[in-house]
């Protein structure tokens, strides 16, 4: 569950967000990433009704956790403790370039929008243009990307010490919000795509 809101009560921290995959139930052992704080779910409310469990696609108005609020922030992710989401500082993505005011080049800084998270990233490498027939990379690597081009690029977080929650597009089915990326430059959306490889993960 990507966290969309955080509220503190006298004894608990209350989170809200949509279940992107799997299920959540009262009594389940969970971990908040990237804080790596484990706890037990004390209560769940969906559509203003207290429930014992929720499944993929459900929106949780309240997830009650017995933790201090500084462990949870908008953009963090609540996971089952047995399978926490990877933490990443660098990744490869397949993108479609829209209509940027400037060509996209190596070293350019962009704002990454992903689920409820927003991060400053840098284009570390343009790996190549995608062949429309095969889906593979063209042999000649471009120096920049312009409107209408589909390409594979490597992105890295601007803050070298940070890690964010992310996953690759599943082999089958639609990508989740943890693998969909939107890239913006100022007020302009310049590209969008999916994560295909986690380069630097913990």
Of the candidates 169, 179, 185, the one whose C-alpha atom is nearest the C-alpha of residue 105 is 185
pLDDT above 80: residue 202: no
- The pLDDT of residue 144: 96
Chain segment 167-200, per-residue pLDDT in tens: 999 888 888 899 999 999 998 999 999 999 999 8
Residue 69's pLDDT band (boundaries 50, 70, 90)?
confident
Q: Is 71 helix (H, G, I), strand (E, B) or coil?
A: helix
- The pLDDT of residue 5: 94
Using CA atoms, how far apart are residues 141 and 41, in angstroms rounded to an integer? Answer: 49
- The pLDDT of residue 170: 87
Percent of the chain with pLDDT over 90: 82
- Average pLDDT value over all residues in the chain: 94
Secondary structure E strands in the chain? 5-8, 13-18, 23-25, 29-33, 37-40, 43-46, 49-51, 53-55, 59-65, 77-80, 87-97, 104-105, 109-114, 117-129, 144-145, 150-157, 164-165, 180-185, 188-201
Residue 36's pLDDT band (boundaries 50, 70, 90)?
very high
Chain segment 98-145, per-residue pLDDT in tens: 999 999 999 999 999 999 999 999 999 999 999 988 888 999 999 999
Using CA atoms, how far apart are residues 137 and 151, in angstroms rounded to an integer? Answer: 8
Mean pLDDT of the 35-61 span: 95
Chain segment 3-33, per-residue pLDDT in tens: 999 998 888 999 999 999 899 999 999 999 9
For residue 29, the cross-strand partners are 40
pLDDT above 80: residue 35: yes
pTM of structure = 0.89
Residue 44's pLDDT band (boundaries 50, 70, 90)?
very high
Mean pLDDT of the 39-44 span: 96
Q: Is 191 helix (H, G, I), strand (E, B) or coil?
A: strand
For residue 123, the cross-strand partners are 155
- The pLDDT of residue 173: 80
Angle at 65 between CA 26 and CA 59, to 5 degrees: 65
């Amino acid at each position: 569950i990507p966290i969309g809101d955080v509220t503190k009560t006298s004894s608990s921290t209350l989170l809200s967000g949509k279940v992107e995959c799997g299920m959540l139930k009262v009594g389940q052992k969970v971990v908040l990433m990237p804080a790596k704080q484990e706890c037990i779910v004390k209560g769940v409310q969906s559509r203003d009704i207290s429930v014992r469990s929720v499944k993929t696609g459900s929106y949780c108005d309240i997830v009650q956790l017995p933790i201090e609020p500084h462990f949870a922030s908008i953009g963090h992710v609540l996971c089952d403790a047995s399978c926490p989401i990877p933490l990443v500082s660098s990744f490869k993505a397949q993108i479609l370039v829209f209509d940027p005011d400037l060509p996209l080049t190596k070293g350019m800084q962009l704002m990454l929008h992903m689920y409820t998270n927003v991060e400053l990233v840098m284009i570390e490498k343009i790996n190549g243009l995608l062949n429309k027939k095969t889906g593979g990379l063209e042999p000649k690597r471009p120096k920049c990307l312009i409107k209408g081009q589909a390409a594979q690029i490597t992105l890295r977080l601007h803050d070298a010490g940070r890690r964010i929650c992310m996953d690759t597009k599943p082999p089958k089915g639609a990508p989740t919000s943890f693998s969909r990326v939107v890239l913006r430059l100022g007020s302009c959306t310049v590209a969008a795509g999916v994560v295909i490889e986690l380069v630097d993960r913990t």
